[in-house]
Chains A and B, each alone.
Chain A
Amino acid sequence: AQSVTQLDSHVSVSEGTPVLLRCNYSSSYSPSLFWYVQHPNKGLQLLLKYTSAATLVKGINGFEAEFKKSETSFHLTKPSAHMSDAAEYFCVVREGYQKVTFGTGTKLQVIP
């Protein structure tokens, strides 16, 4: 069975400082991994996805994530936070083409 754990429900950073949102997963197979972002009153948007081609994945808005199989982690990072990054972020694991499981989400607060 697959599962996703987002280790922090809330993360607060100052504008211009690095962002780290943590995600650990478990899966019986080689999963596909994604990060989605949900801004207030808006839908879910795909940030990036891991497709096994490269362990370091670059996404939109300067975000990137590194797949570490030995640690079963897929943490999301950004070198410098911007006010517009304030949102809720979801780590997602997908096995095969059917089952897609979301983490419980991490709310990112950016302090000016």
Chain B
Amino acid sequence: SQTIHQWPATLVQPVGSPLSLECTVEGTSNPNLYWYRQAAGRGLQLLFYSVGIGQISSEVPQNLSASRPQDRQFILSSKKLLLSDSGFYLCAWSLGQSATNEKLIFGSGTQLSVM
């Protein structure tokens, strides 16, 4: 069966420090991968999505970047965190090209507090 792992669950980082959040998927190949941010009162915002290794699409200009070094690994990074980067980050996956209606499966999320 497919599973998605996201870590860490919580993170407190000082302003200006680097960030690396990791997400891995098991039990499937060539998934579409997504990073969302849920800020208080602002719903879920799509940050990045990837349809394959090394293929990253950015949805909003921001202080963050994403990478996909392996088929089932998706990493969210920042060189220098800002206070506004605080929020709840969710990784998600869905099946690839043949599944136009397939649902998203979400990881358990990372609560990031930048102080």
Give the secondary structure class of A's interface: strand
How close is A35's CB to chain B, nearest CB, in angstroms? 11
How close is B13's CB to chain A, nearest CB, in angstroms? 22
CB contacts under 8 Å to B, within A80-110, are 90, 92, 94, 96-105
Residues of A contacting B99 in the complex (Cβ-Cβ under 8 angstroms): 97
| Per-position 1/0 for B61-89, Cβ under 8 A of A | 00000000000000000000000000000
Tell me if B29 counts as interface (CB < 8 A to partner A): no
Contact A32 B101 (CB under 8 A): yes
Contact A43 B42 (CB under 8 A): no
Number of A interface residues in the complex (CB < 8 A): 24
Tell me if A7 counts as interface (CB < 8 A to partner B): no
Tell me if A51 counts as interface (CB < 8 A to partner B): yes
Counted as pairs of residues, one from A and one from B, with CB atoms less than 8 Å apart, the total is 60
Closest to A99 in B: B49
Name the residue among A9, A51, A102 with the largest chain B CB count within 10 angstroms.
Answer: A102
CB contacts under 8 Å to B, within A37-78, are 43-44, 46, 49, 51-52
Contact A97 B94 (CB under 8 A): yes
Contact A43 B108 (CB under 8 A): yes
Contact B103 A49 (CB under 8 A): yes
Residues of B contacting A104 in the complex (Cβ-Cβ under 8 angstroms): 42-43
Tell me if B32 counts as interface (CB < 8 A to partner A): yes
A98 and B51 CA atoms in complex are apart in Å by 7
Q: 7 more A-B contacts (CB under 8 A) besides A90-B43, A105-B44?
A: A6-B43, A44-B90, A97-B97, A99-B57, A100-B94, A102-B44, A102-B46
Residues of B contacting A97 in the complex (Cβ-Cβ under 8 angstroms): 32, 51, 94-100, 102
How close is A52's CB to chain B, nearest CB, in angstroms? 8
Could you write out 7 A-B pairs with CB less than 8 Å apart? A32-B101, A34-B104, A94-B100, A97-B51, A99-B57, A102-B36, A102-B45
